Amino acid sequence: MLSGMDIANQALPLPKPDASGDELFRLGLLYSTGQGGAPLDYVSAHMLFNLAAMRGSMEAKVYRKELAGEMASEDVAEAQRQAREWLARG
């Protein structure tokens, strides 16, 4: 079974390692709403908001917190794992 960015890779490419907080935030918005060619995918959206927050996006911190409140704890953990993997690849 595919999950998170595995599914997302079929719609949009992974962000580049040098993506800015604003770029990551905008991509997170696409996944959180299922717009712009992105599937509706809260795990990917949380991962992107998390990365955006780490790169200085204050909006991403707010969206990440709101989204986490709507997600199962195991999905939040998966999003965090995927964020760590993305950072390790960069």
pLDDT-derived band at 2 (thresholds 50, 70, 90) equals: very low
Print the SS3 string covering the chain: CCCCHHHHCCCCCCCCCCCCHHHHHHHHHHHHHCCCCCCCCHHHHHHHHHHHHHCCCHHHHHHHHHHHCCCCHHHHHHHHHHHHHHHHHC
* Predicted local confidence at residue 7, as pLDDT: 42
Mean pLDDT over the full length of the chain: 88
Each residue of 17-30: pLDDT tens digit? 899 999 999 999 99
Read off the pTM. Answer: 0.85
